[in-house]
A and B are shown apart, each in its own frame.
Chain A
Amino acid sequence: MAKKEYAFYPGCSSRLRGSASNYLVSVNAMCKTLDVKLTQIPDWNCCGASIGYAESGELPRHVMNARNFALSEKHLPGRDIVATCAACWLNAKESKEKLSASADLMKDANEALKEAGLRYEAKSEVRHMVEVLIEDLGYEELGKHVVKPLDGLKFAGYVGCQTNRPFGIAGESFENPVYLDKLVETVGGEAIADYDQKVTCCGGALAFSEPDKSQKQIKDIVESAYDRGADMIVTPCPLCQANVEIYQSEINRKRGTKLAMPVTYYSQLMTVAYGGTLKEAGLDGHVIRAKKLEEIAVKVIPAKKR
């Protein structure tokens, strides 16, 4: 039996050949090492993200999230739900909070859910993968599995918005959360403590609808990482990752910059440090390859260290 078991809510972007498919690949490898078992919620649906708001209104949005909760409570009772995507986590958590606070809203939500043959009891909790790592396993446990410390690599820990606000990780500040830096140090990397764009917004979904305004944000996020000598950026959010990585070429084209800063996930750092291959870490899924991390991933570990 696995050490820890959860109901898993992977989210739309993690699907095979989706924009965050390599995030899921690395999460799977990381969880295998940590003996964490993730069982997908059967027939899970989209959380509505934040951007769906104008078309969805309030109750339809909550009902979409309540459906996932209800499916999890039905098929995987007693288990916490774990989301890897910041938006999935935030929206599910927000819906749970709103429905739990209002008997009227809860009644309406269940009346709607009845149409799909489901019932929401507000029993299970939804948590971000980072919470599982920090709270259920702890830094010490996470450090035990390191066989290839990420020596000599400097990381700008870009936490972004939605894993940080409005809920955030317990015990962390909104203005300067340090858990990501601690995760970097746990796997032997160097975290840049004074990276000043740590919690700056990348534009989120407005990277699509307001590209120039968002690219200004992204430029600041990347340039600050350069200014502080980072080898790469690391983030817990799939939209932060995608936006900050893939629009660098657009910024270069429009503004004459030469940005080429790799943007990785915490789970990729951990997979590599745990001895995973380049593919297991999803490092082949980048537009801007994280070459220095790839070098560590392909390095053969001397027998005595095993």
Chain B
Amino acid sequence: MSEALNEQAIARYRNDFLKEVEERVEEGEWVKMCMQCGVCAGSCPFGPHWEHSPQKLFMMIRAGKREEVLSSDSMWMCTSCYNCVVRCPRKLPITQIMHGLATYAYRLGLAPKDQPTRFFSQLFWKNAVHTGRVNELKLTLALYFKDGLIQGIKNAWGMRNIGLGMLLAKRLNPLELFHEETCKDQEGIRKMLAKARELENKRRGFSKE
């Protein structure tokens, strides 16, 4: 599915990666407005941990470096702190563009395979829409056990003091495994989201043409 989407995108946009980003990435139409001042790069809390700053990514997009951009780990480092957004002299919605690029890379199957934030994002959304509300216990356990039972037990054991502290503070509910607080109209939410996804695919050109 993602492979076919990627081939379809390459065929459609040829060497015009900027146009591809403008049409298919959330807020992508802003990329060309970047004036390369670098304030975003200096404002990011996770600055020391990425290879490509937003500023670099924007220039790479304009230079047509499709593969490097979409397989980059950097946009996954966005903590959604919005510091770059409020400081950008051109008022680019940089946080949203980072999310948009990461999302697009993931849809095309080009995102780094073991990217932990990609995994957590997927886990979080699925957890939230499953019943309409987040089940914090299942979310945490699913993250600990992502690499299998043995590693999961090790992870959970490593965090036992935090878990126990939260339990004693009455901020963790072990019963959430069996009984969860949910939205009543789960069926409505499911249908609503299916429709939204269908409309978005159409608008972004992901549906079969």
Interface residue count for B (Cβ, 8 Å)? Answer: 67
A58-112 interface (Cβ within 8 A of B): 58-60, 62-64, 67, 104, 108-109, 111-112
Judge whether A284 is part of the interface by a CB distance below 8 angstroms: yes
- Chain B 118-133 near chain A by CB (<8 Å), digits 1 or 0: 1111101110110011
Say whether A19 contacts B172, CB under 8 Å: yes
Residues of A within 8 A of B194 (CB): 115
In the bound assembly, the distance between CA atoms of A98 and B53 in angstroms comes to: 26
Q: Within the complex, which residue of A50, A114, A161, A217 is in contact with B83, where a contact is CB–CB below 8 Å?
A: A161
A204 (CB) vs chain B CBs: closest residue: B79
B128 touches A46 (CB 8 A): yes
A67 to B129, CA, bound (A): 13
Give complex CA distance A174, B132 in Å. 32
The yes or no answer to B81 lying at the interface (CB within 8 A) is yes
Interface size class of A (residues with CB under 8 A): 35 or more
Q: Is the CB of A206 within 8 A of B125?
A: no
A44 to B184 CA separation, bound complex (whole angstroms): 9
Query: What's the Cα separation between A166 and B95 when bound, in Å?
Result: 10
- Which one, B12-20, B34-42, B197-205, is touching chain A? B197-205
Measuring CB to CB, which residues of chain B are less than 8 angstroms from any residue of chain A? 26, 45-46, 49, 77, 79-83, 85-87, 95, 99-100, 102-103, 106-107, 111, 116-122, 124-126, 128-129, 132-134, 136, 140, 143, 159, 161-162, 165-166, 168-173, 176, 181, 183-185, 188-189, 191-197, 199-200, 203
A interface residues (Cβ-Cβ under 8 A, vs B): 12-13, 15-22, 43-46, 48-60, 62-64, 67, 104, 108-109, 111-118, 161-162, 165-166, 168, 174, 199-201, 203-206, 208-210, 213-214, 217, 242, 246-247, 249-250, 284-287
